[in-house]
Amino acid sequence: MRFCDDCGTYLKEKKEGLWCPKCKKVVHSRLVLKPRSFEKKESTAVHVLDKSRFDHVKVSRACPKCGNGEAYRWFSSISGEHAGIRRERTVEHYKCTKCSYLWSESS
């Protein structure tokens, strides 16, 4: 990386040498400009872990699909504004322990 001796602008690479876009000066350079070669590095394995179903609390709730009496429960909150009024609400999410059916109830 070089800068122009006259105006201090960053010099751009051209076939003729280095060129100043501000004062249009070409500096003939003996530098051999070649693109960087990226060496292929040995890749390491990346393990992606899904959320464990045991992260959520198990509660007694009947599944609407299969009728099972147990489900995992977690909460999320939704906030928004409409007509200048800010509203926040909590949504309870459930997942059946038997058939993995997902449903939610807002409060």
pTM over 0.85: no
Question: pLDDT tens digits for the chain (107 residues)?
Answer: 677 878 888 788 877 778 888 888 887 766 555 666 667 777 777 777 666 555 788 999 999 999 999 999 999 888 888 888 888 889 999 999 999 999 998 86
Q: With 0-12 CB in 10 A as exposed, 13-18 as middle and 19+ as buried, what is 45? A: exposed
- The answer on 57 and 17 residing in a single domain is no
3-class state of residue 53 by DSSP: helix
Query: Residue 73: in which H helix or E strand, if any?
Result: strand 70-82
Is residue 61 assigned to a domain? yes
- The answer on 60 and 27 residing in a single domain is no
In angstroms, the CA 59 to CA 37 distance is 57
Is residue 46 assigned to a domain? no
Domain limits at 60?
53-106
Q: How many structural domains does the chain have?
A: 2
Q: What is the CATH number of the domain that holds 96?
A: 2.20.25.10
Is there a contact between 42 and 50 (Cβ–Cβ < 8 Å)?
no
